């Protein structure tokens, strides 16, 4: 679970603790796919995070959100890019899992959401509007959930309001396999500068290295070390088929929580 805005550290830690606990409960009662959807929705609904309610604004003062979900067992990625006026972009991404065309962008993504019955919803909060007026970009702050269930299925979901102040229509990494990827071996969700995450092919590259035999920690560390050499700034949360959980970054703080079945912990790393 990721967030880069350090202004409300305590609130973020409490929120992450609660969300992690209830997402884990959901995981026990269902599966990794349902748990990821559930967890990302909770994060999107919490205005502390830059996804769904509380999303940042693009340069023209509009909120355009993006989200991706990947089922590592079925090997299917689906996503929405620059969708507007919906409460939970991840739920629209979910509806594309079973379609022939799995990634939809812009006005057509918004239209699709309406056609599917998603209500009109304004995700703007006062704080983001003020940041926009003052041209404060703040830190980044995408949200993501990675989960492994008892059947060994890995699922990842990532949702974002973008970096704030970006050129209208700019595409983030979150609805791409660089920012969100799951296989039978690993699941990765990224946060940071989207263009640099895309240039690094981060999430899919880490998953491939794990599939080829590298342990998760080494694969993630290599990705972050390579990124640092290019002065790229991003971080990832990740999980492997063996149940390893690992986070690394070379950017501002990442707030994350993990639950391994016995312990829960929240970090500002
Ligand atoms: N990766 C996101 C983007 O570039 C921002 C973030 O992680 O906060 O849109």
Q: What is the pLDDT of residue 1?
A: 40
* In contact, 148 and 180? CB cutoff 8 Å: no
**What is the tens place of the pLDDT at every residue in 154-165?**
999 999 999 999
Taking the C-alpha atoms of residue 22 and residue 16, their distance in angstroms, rounded to an integer, is 10
Distance 165 CA to ligand 1 centre (A): 12
Share of the chain above pLDDT 90, in %: 87
Please work out whether the CB of residue 164 comes within 6 Å of at least one atom of ligand 1: no
Atom of ligand 1 nearest to the CA of 139: 8
In the set 23, 53, 110, 142, the catalytic residue is 142
Mean pLDDT confidence for 137-156: 89
Atom of ligand 1 nearest to the CA of 162: 9
Give the burial string for 53-92 (b: 16+ CB within 10 Å, else e).
bbbbbbeeeebbbbbbbbbbbeeebbbbbbbbbbbbbbbb
Contact residues for 50 (Cβ-Cβ < 8 A; gap 6+): 3, 4, 5, 56, 140, 141, 142, 143, 160, 161, 162, 164
Catalytic residue at 156?
Answer: no
Q: What is the pLDDT of residue 29?
A: 96
Please work out whether the CB of residue 140 comes within 6 Å of at least one atom of ligand 1: yes
Please work out whether the CB of residue 194 comes within 6 Å of at least one atom of ligand 1: yes
Please work out whether the CB of residue 180 comes within 6 Å of at least one atom of ligand 1: no
Q: Give how far the C-alpha of residue 217 lies from the chain's centroid of Cα atoms, to the nearest Å.
A: 19
Distance 164 CA to ligand 1 centre (A): 9
Provide the pLDDT confidence category of residue 2 given band limits of 50, 70 and 90.
very low
Which residue reads 């990302």 in tokens? 40
Distance 4 CA to ligand 1 centre (A): 10
Q: Which residue puts its alpha carbon closest to atom 9 of ligand 1?
A: 162
Segment (H or E) for 186: strand 186-192
Please work out whether the CB of residue 162 comes within 6 Å of at least one atom of ligand 1: yes
Write down the pTM of the prediction. Answer: 0.95
Which stretches of the chain are DSSP H helices?
9-29, 32-45, 89-95, 106-115, 126-133, 194-200, 202-211, 216-229
**What is the tens place of the pLDDT at every residue in 12-26?**
889 999 999 999 999
Please work out whether the CB of residue 138 comes within 6 Å of at least one atom of ligand 1: no
User: Which residues does residue 189 pair with via DSSP β-bridges, in sequence order?
Assistant: 180, 237
């Amino acid at each position: 679970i990721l967030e880069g805005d350090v202004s409300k550290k305590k609130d973020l830690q409490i929120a992450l603790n609660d969300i992690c606990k209830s997402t884990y409960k959901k995981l026990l009662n269902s599966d990794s796919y349902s748990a990821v959807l559930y967890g990302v929705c909770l994060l999107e609904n919490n205005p502390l995070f830059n996804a769904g309610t509380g999303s940042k604004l693009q340069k023209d003062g509009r909120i355009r959100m993006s989200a991706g979900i990947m089922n590592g067992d079925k090997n299917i990625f689906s996503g929405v890019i620059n969708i507007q006026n919906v409460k939970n972009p991840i739920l629209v991404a979910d509806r594309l899992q079973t379609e022939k065309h799995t990634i939809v962008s812009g006005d057509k993504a918004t239209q699709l959401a309406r056609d599917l019955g998603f209500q009109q919803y304004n995700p703007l909060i006062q704080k983001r509007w003020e940041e926009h007026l003052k041209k404060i970009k703040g830190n980044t702050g995408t949200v993501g959930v990675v989960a492994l269930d008892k059947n060994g299925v890995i699922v990842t979901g990532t949702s974002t309001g973008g970096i704030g102040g970006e050129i209208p229509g700019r595409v983030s990494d979150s609805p791409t396999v660089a920012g969100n990827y799951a296989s039978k071996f690993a699941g990765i969700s990224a946060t940071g500068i989207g263009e640099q995450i895309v240039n690094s092919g981060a999430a899919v590259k880490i998953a491939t290295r794990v599939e080829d035999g590298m342990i998760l920690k080494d694969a993630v560390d290599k990705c972050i070390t390579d990124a640092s050499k290019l002065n790229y700034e991003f971080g990832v949360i990740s999980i492997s088929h063996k149940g390893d959980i690992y986070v690394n970054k070379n950017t501002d703080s990442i707030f994350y929580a993990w639950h391994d079945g016995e312990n829960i912990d929240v970090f500002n790393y």
